[in-house]
Amino acid sequence: MANVADFRWKKDMKLHCFGSSLGTIGFQGTEIRNASNVIVKMRTEGAKIFLTFTSNMATSGLRGFFAQLIDLKMADVIVTTVGGIEEDIMKANGEKFPIGSFYSDDNALYEKGNNRVGNLLVENKSYEKFEDMIEPMLEKLYAKKQRYTVSELLYELGLQLNDKNSILYQASHHNVPIFCPAITDGAFGFHLYSFSLKHKDFIVDVVGDFSRLLSASTYDEKKGLISLGGGVSKHHAILGTLINGGLDYAIYMTTAHYTSGSMSGATTQEAKSWGKIKDDADAVTVIGDVSVFFPLAMCMALEELSKRGVVKV
| Residues marked as catalytic | 276
CA distance 262 to 52: 17
The single residue among 44, 115, 129, 245 that binds a copy of itself, judged by CB under 8 A, is 115
Q: How far is the CB of 109 from a copy of itself (least distance, A)?
A: 4
CA distance 301 to 260: 32
Asked if 125 touches a copy of itself (CB under 8 A), the answer is no
Asked if 98 touches a copy of itself (CB under 8 A), the answer is yes
CB 35 within 8 A of CB 253: yes
Q: Report helix, strand or coil for 37.
A: helix
Q: How far is the CB of 144 from a copy of itself (least distance, A)?
A: 18
Q: Report helix, strand or coil for 113.
A: coil
Q: How many residues bind a copy of itself (CB under 8 A)?
A: 127
Q: How far is the CB of 290 from a copy of itself (least distance, A)?
A: 7
Stretch near a copy of itself under the rule CB under 8 A, chosen from 40-48, 90-98, 137-145, 215-223: 90-98
Asked if 116 touches a copy of itself (CB under 8 A), the answer is yes
Asked if 273 touches a copy of itself (CB under 8 A), the answer is yes
Q: How far is the CB of 48 from a copy of itself (least distance, A)?
A: 19
CA distance 293 to 124: 30
Window 6-45: contact mask with a copy of itself (x via CB under 8 A): xxxx-xxxxxxxx--xx-xxxxxxxxx-------------
- The number of residues in the chain equals 313
* Amino acid present at 262: S
Asked if 198 touches a copy of itself (CB under 8 A), the answer is no
For residue 193, what are the contacts with CB-CB under 8 A and spacing of at least 6?
Answer: 184
Asked if 91 touches a copy of itself (CB under 8 A), the answer is yes
CA distance 238 to 199: 34
The single residue among 39, 49, 51, 62 that binds a copy of itself, judged by CB under 8 A, is 62
Report the side by side order of strands in the sheet with 77-80.
Answer: 178-179, 77-80, 48-53, 223-228, 247-254, 277-287
Contact set for a copy of itself, span 279-308 (CB under 8 A): 279, 287-293, 295-296, 298-299, 302-303, 306
CB 302 within 8 A of CB 39: no
Window 153-182: contact mask with a copy of itself (x via CB under 8 A): ------------x---------------xx
Task: Report the DSSP pairing between strands 178-179 and 77-80.
Answer: parallel
Contact set for a copy of itself, span 238-267 (CB under 8 A): 239, 243, 255-266
